[in-house]
């Protein structure tokens, strides 16, 4: 909104074209020298925000942990902060968003986490100190140039070139400000999970934050470390739980990992296309079969509620997990994650590693994903079968099996299945009555 010239993130250059976000802001609110981001905040009321109602639906859909936004790249805190007034308790909604989410999560028995994106704000907000390059108000400073608001927009940093791809500030004062802010967040809410939307920032300063987070967690848990830290750094170091934004691994990993993705965009926008309940379930099953967890962003309106199409998606997921969750929750990967045409080496990469989760996969009834729990194997058939089900990985001569199959059942069905374990495959006759879901789960037990 502070760039009247469109910026190309891929090339790190300005295109010379009119920036549509800036144009929208001018048309609806006026010039950012007079009406800037600080003036947008009071328009956000969240008057329909009902965290308990939302959390109950999240749990019903299968959530085992919930992560609240703490602060995005805009330096506006969603908690009751004493560091500056730019927070959701003192303005805008006038609600402790993080605290209310935490209360609702604890009420439902869910682990609670917080997401922080603050490290980027010192660069992202530099554009608020600028001015139009062309047009009738060329050279007129935006509102971020006013020193009165530097506690929100930060001080201008002449040494940083925002068009050169630099994302993290090198200024020690900014590093200390970030440390104070995130430590305050930790001290107020003691989150079970903390997520930084970048690599662990600012070297030794970042390590101080992480040490404080771990020490605080141990103090909260009688000396036992239960905290989970996520950041976007490293696929081989295993210093923390790997997070892949809008991406998946293409195989089982020896360490747990998490993908963070959204039902649609990362924010509310009318008319946007959402993933269907089935697409999210497909993604969940594939992720869990590879030792991963799914952190799914659910889109809320600016008023704080969810539109009916979003509720319907969550209800679809809830109906599926109510029947098939036995093979998902508290499960572990099997020796292989799956079989079928979809098990291929994938070349399409996600935004931050792994393979893209937005790729279109046309699953067939020959595609399976596997998990294990309590000595059983769960085989998820990724498309409703139209004939005999054939599982090659579970044949008598399979190199993956140590014992013979003793029983096969279908989750959500009391029907006795006809099956036979041949040398080359486990054959299951299609049930007479199929569950409504397109993805069904067979529970395989062994002698």
Model pLDDT for residues 25-47, shown as the tens digit of each residue = 999 999 999 999 999 999 999 99
Whether 360 shows a pLDDT value over 80: the answer reads no
Token readout for 9 is: 């993130």
**Lowest mean pLDDT, pick from 3-17, 19-33, 57-71, 217-231:** 3-17
Whether 238 shows a pLDDT value over 80: the answer reads no
**Of the residues 233, 250, 284, the one at which a domain ends:** 233
Residues 215, 75 share a domain: yes
As a whole number, mean pLDDT of residues 171-200 equals 96
Q: What angle do CA 111, 114, 115 make, to 5 degrees?
A: 135
Q: Specify whether the CB–CB gap between 70 and 116 falls below 8 A.
A: yes
CATH at residue 38 = 3.20.20.80
Q: What is the mean pLDDT of the chain?
A: 92
**Of the residues 194, 211, 233, the one at which a domain ends:** 233
Q: Identify the top-confidence range among 152-166, 230-244, 425-439.
A: 425-439
**Of the residues 202, 233, 264, the one at which a domain ends:** 233
Specify the residue for token string 């044949």.
395
Helix, strand, coil content of the chain in percent (nearest 5)? 30, 25, 45
Residues 338, 225 share a domain: no
Q: What is the pLDDT of residues 279-318, one digit of tens each?
A: 999 999 999 999 999 999 999 999 999 999 999 999 999 9
| Residue 7: CB atoms within 10 Å | 15
Q: Specify whether the CB–CB gap between 444 and 378 falls below 8 A.
A: yes
Whether 361 shows a pLDDT value over 80: the answer reads no
Whether 23 shows a pLDDT value over 90: the answer reads yes
pTM comes to 0.93
Report CA torsion sign: 247, 336, 329, 236.
negative
161: Cα separation from own chain's centroid: 30
pLDDT tier, 167 (very low <50, low <70, confident <90, very high otherwise): confident
Residues 341, 229 share a domain: no
Whether 9 shows a pLDDT value over 90: the answer reads no
Indicate the number of domains in the chain: 2
As a whole number, mean pLDDT of residues 403-423 equals 96
Q: In this predicted structure, what is the pLDDT of residue 335?
A: 97
Q: In this predicted structure, what is the pLDDT of residue 164?
A: 38
Would you say residue 36 lies in a domain? yes
Q: Which domain holds residue 218?
A: 5-233
pLDDT tier, 368 (very low <50, low <70, confident <90, very high otherwise): very high
Would you say residue 277 lies in a domain? no
Would you say residue 362 lies in a domain? yes
Would you say residue 312 lies in a domain? no
Would you say residue 97 lies in a domain? yes
What are the angstrom distances between the C-alpha of 311 and each of 60, 282, 329? 11, 18, 22
Q: In this predicted structure, what is the pLDDT of residue 357?
A: 55
Would you say residue 160 lies in a domain? yes
Q: Where are the beta strands (DSSP E) in 117-252?
A: 193-196, 228-231, 241-245, 247-248
Give residues with Cβ within 8 angstroms of 348, minimum separation 6: 355, 356, 359
How far apart (Å, rounded) are the C-alpha atoms in residues 305 and 66? 17
Whether 135 shows a pLDDT value over 90: the answer reads no
């Amino acid at each position: 909104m502070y760039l009247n010239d469109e910026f190309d993130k891929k090339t790190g250059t300005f295109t010379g074209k009119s920036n549509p976000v800036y144009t929208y802001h001018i048309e609806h609110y006026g010039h950012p020298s007079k009406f800037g981001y600080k003036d947008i905040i009071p328009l956000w009321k969240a008057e329909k925000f009902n965290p308990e109602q939302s959390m109950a639906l999240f749990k019903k859909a299968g959530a085992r942990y919930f992560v609240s936004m703490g602060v995005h790249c805009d330096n506006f805190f969603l908690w009751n902060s004493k560091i500056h007034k730019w927070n959701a308790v003192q303005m805008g909604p006038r609600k402790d968003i993080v605290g209310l989410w935490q209360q609702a999560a604890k009420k439902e028995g869910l682990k609670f986490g917080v997401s922080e994106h603050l490290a980027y704000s010192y660069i992202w907000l530099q554009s608020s100190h600028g001015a139009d390059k062309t047009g009738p108000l060329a050279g007129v400073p935006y509102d971020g140039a006013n020193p009165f608001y530097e506690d929100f927009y930060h001080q201008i940093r002449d040494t940083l070139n925002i068009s050169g791809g630099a994302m993290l500030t090198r200024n020690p004062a900014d590093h200390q400000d970030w440390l104070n802010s995130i430590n305050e967040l930790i001290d107020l809410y003691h989150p079970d999970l903390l997520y930084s939307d970048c690599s662990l920032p600012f070297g030794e300063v970042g390590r101080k934050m992480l040490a404080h987070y771990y020490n605080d967690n141990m103090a909260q848990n009688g000396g036992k470390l239960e905290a989970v830290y996520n950041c976007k750094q490293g696929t081989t170091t295993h210093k923390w739980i790997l997070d892949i934004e809008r991406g998946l691994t293409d195989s089982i990993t020896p360490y747990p990992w998490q993908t963070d993705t959204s039902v649609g965009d990362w924010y509310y926008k009318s008319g946007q296309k959402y993933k269907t309940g089935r697409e999210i379930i497909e993604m969940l099953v594939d992720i869990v079969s590879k030792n991963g967890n799914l952190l799914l962003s659910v889109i809320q309106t600016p008023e704080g509620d969810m539109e009916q199409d979003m509720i319907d998606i969550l209800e679809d997921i809830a109906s599926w997990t109510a029947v098939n969750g036995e093979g998902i929750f508290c499960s572990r990967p099997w020796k292989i994650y799956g079989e079928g045409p979809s098990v291929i080496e994938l070349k399409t990469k996600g935004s931050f590693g792994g393979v893209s989760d937005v790729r279109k996969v046309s699953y067939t009834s020959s595609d399976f994903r596997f998990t294990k729990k309590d000595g059983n194997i769960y085989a998820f058939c990724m498309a409703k079968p139209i004939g005999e089900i054939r599982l090659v990985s579970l044949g008598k001569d399979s190199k993956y099996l140590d014992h013979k199959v003793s029983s096969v059942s279908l989750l959500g069905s009391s029907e006795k299945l006809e099956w036979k374990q041949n040398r080359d495959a486990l054959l299951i006759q299609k049930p007479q009555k199929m569950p409504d879901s397109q993805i069904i789960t067979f529970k395989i037990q062994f002698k």
